[in-house]
A and B are shown apart, each in its own frame.
Chain A
């Protein structure tokens, strides 16, 4: 990094509706000189003409309106600079309806400013957002006790809120960098220390932004590279077989021994691979570190695939297994229930799963706890036991957050997230097979994957049905099917032959080859 380049810090401003998030952002932009020239004056003038009291929050609305006319600043992503850093502000809506947007925005942030109204005190979303930030893994947090001017800069009010909120934050394991009494509207303790709070000797907001720890290097931690893919572009005359993935922690060099989990296969790294447009070989990497989308080849030709995690031999290995306990948050429109099949995506691994027990759930706003609930509602937090269909590798150590978390997919949607707290033996967690049959179980038993095949007429349909049957496949021909009927037959694991469109279009019996290949059970493909 060059000496002149400032560190980049993404911050999210969170908090309850109307506690002053937009005002804080507006004031930060104004006081750091990040606004277009004349902007502030023109809005003050507009307010004078319309007899409205001026508010810094108007800046954001005004910028939005004027963007079309040629101003660069973005409300969802504003930029400003502190002494040490170039900051990007990510918008996080305070309204509960937009919690998934808050999470999407906040998960990209390095640090968070949590705004609490001094007069109103700690509210629903003050706690909920605090909880979500903790679960998302954002530990660099400062609390702004805002609108301190409206309580006459009263030290007692400030301290009561600090006590109230720090008790809550401590309960979820967060220690904020600072509690700052501010008035975003008046500019107190934002860019400079205010004389109106002589009892406060801590840092102002800009100083706090420079105090946040920036971009943990992951150095000294064990290597974790979740395998995204193994590339073989042999068709283009390239004989390399490159294991590719994003390095989440640790570092890797050529000649080092790696172990892939959960399979436990080992190999020695032959080359670190990186392609440069300018072909400059001086740029070739000597080591890969955390944060790098990297790739390497191995001395031994071993079969690994997406979903495994590459680790270094001799370092702390990840845990492997099918069952674990996790803290989760749920965003789905329908409640999370035990017994039903969901899909877990943990780094690059993807497997069907079931929840075999919901130990407790928590309303993150009221902090009301329910033991052994029937289900987990939208925006609730819960402690659950998961059993997956396939083994995965994961960490439960807080220093390795990226490989210790997962998302839950319900149907087509990402509907929740979780942090693995404990690896369990499958017997303790309850047998997966005692629950409903899964797609994969069916596919294994029938030795085929369901598939739709479009045929031109009944004769072809019947011929193919018979021919597939002779090959040991389960096929069913029906001239016309509604989407619902088609889905029911596919869920039953069948190859569905029907007139019209299909994943495979078959003109006659000679197309059986493609149907056999496409309906082959993927589990047996490529297995040693």
Chain B
């Protein structure tokens, strides 16, 4: 076979992206600005020959590391992306957040991410859309709910994600029934769904953290510089909101060094999300959040 493991992963993901594009009229892709969803975005450009024929949606918690937002807007302009962001204005105005000391970490995630996401997808909260002529965001007139939502989760990230299907139906409230999922085989996916429900699509399910970094290196995918050590012996392994994401101790300052560190170095047996505080706060936290619609 002339193709490598990375080629086959790429091909399967492209197949899933193309199947989604054929099946869903109101399709969007979530872009968290992290390395996984940026690889996903590049796979979409590859699937559609340099174009991205659906909007990118980013949920802005206003606690993202500022460099991430600059990077988002720069690539959105450069790659001609149909860029949309959503936010929980109410919670932010009332300062009902963890950094303001008014809620727990998990509750903060639920309000700023899950709730904002659910309403942005449904279209009942304002969607801010990038105007490429002015380079600024304006309220979007289109309020139609998205029925297909492409998400960059990987099965190896943590327990609840390993139970995911490539196409995963959610009910009207975004709930996920992990125990009763439709069968999925032979590259045939759930593309028929009842009104009021939507489908989450996971083209990266089979990728591991190492696969992602090897692909970034092979294809020259631009990633936020926070992933690299800049001389202080620290780098981010996973990106989130600054109050809840800690950098890890690492001297890796190049892609080769990151890959080496993951394959046989100090992180070969330490989980990627070990720096995420909300995973630690309560035992089944992430699975709970996911049932409620969290990515």
Contacts and interface: CB of A to CB of B under 8 A. Distances in A.
B156 A77 contact: yes
A40 B2 CA distance: 39
A386 to B, nearest CB: 16
Interface in B1-55: 1-5, 7-8, 10-12, 14-15, 18-19, 21-22, 42, 45-51, 53
A496 to B, nearest CB: 14
Interface in A267-300: 273-278, 289-293, 295
B162 A72 contact: no
B271 A72 contact: yes
A100 interface: yes
Contacts of B271: 67, 70-72
Given A228-B19, A291-B1, A412-B194, A107 B185 contact: yes
Nearest to A350: B191
B159 A68 contact: yes
A411 to B, nearest CB: 8
Contacts of A76: 155, 162-163
Interface stretch (B85-93, B94-102, B176-184): B176-184
A505 to B, nearest CB: 10
B192 A77 contact: no
B289 to A, nearest CB: 13
Contacts of A277: 42, 45-46, 219-221
A228 B15 CA distance: 9
B216 to A, nearest CB: 10
A65 to B, nearest CB: 9
Interface string A131-169: 000001000000000000000000000000000000000
Contacts, number: 154
A5 interface: yes
A64 interface: yes
A470 interface: no
Interface string B147-162: 0000000011011001
Given A229-B18, A229-B22, A417 B49 contact: no
B162 A70 contact: no
Given A236-B51, A238-B49, A240-B49, A107 B186 contact: yes
Given A100-B182, A215-B1, A246 B155 contact: no
A27 interface: no
A103 interface: yes
Contacts of A103: 183, 185
Interface string A56-88: 000000001001111110111101000000000
A5 B5 contact: yes
A104 B165 contact: yes
Interface residues of A, number: 64
A236 B51 CA distance: 8
A306 B21 CA distance: 12
B193 interface: yes
B66 interface: no
Contacts of B283: 68
B139 to A, nearest CB: 19
A309 interface: no
Given A215-B1, A233-B53, A67 B158 contact: yes
Contacts of B159: 64, 67-68, 74-75
Contacts of A275: 45-46, 49-50
Nearest to B267: A72
A76 B163 CA distance: 7
A525 B187 CA distance: 28
Interface in A82-101: 100-101
A242 B193 CA distance: 29
Contacts of B165: 104
A457 interface: no
Interface in B96-136: none
Interface string A91-132: 000000000110110111000000000000000000000000
Nearest to B222: A277
A8 interface: yes
A128 to B, nearest CB: 15
A412 B182 CA distance: 10
A238 B51 CA distance: 9
A306 B190 CA distance: 17
A244 interface: yes
Contacts of B60: none
B183 A37 contact: no
A292 B46 CA distance: 13
Contacts of B48: 231, 233
B266 interface: no
Contacts of A292: 3, 7, 11
A69 B274 CA distance: 7
B225 interface: no
Nearest to A236: B51
Nearest to B162: A76
Nearest to B185: A107
B88 to A, nearest CB: 25
A197 B256 CA distance: 47
A1 B188 contact: no
B45 A291 contact: no
A466 B193 CA distance: 33
A136 B185 CA distance: 8
Interface string B254-295: 000000000000000111101000011001001000000000
Contact of B18 (A79, A106, A136, A228): A228
A295 B192 CA distance: 26
Contacts of A295: 49
A345 B192 CA distance: 11
A331 interface: yes
Contacts of B182: 100, 413-414
A411 B191 CA distance: 11
A239 B55 CA distance: 22
Interface in A390-431: 402, 405, 407, 409, 411-414, 417
B156 to A, nearest CB: 5
A412 B186 contact: no
Interface in B175-220: 181-188, 190, 192-194, 206, 208, 219-220
Interface in A212-227: 215, 217
A289 B19 contact: no
A29 to B, nearest CB: 12
A252 B162 CA distance: 36
B1 A413 contact: no
For the complex of A and B, 3 pairs with smallest distance between CB atoms: A107-B185, A76-B162, A100-B183
Given A79-B208, A291-B3, A293-B15, 19 more contacts: A1-B1, A68-B158, A68-B283, A69-B280, A71-B270, A75-B159, A76-B155, A77-B155, A104-B181, A106-B185, A215-B1, A228-B15, A233-B48, A233-B51, A242-B49, A246-B11, A276-B46, A306-B22, A331-B183
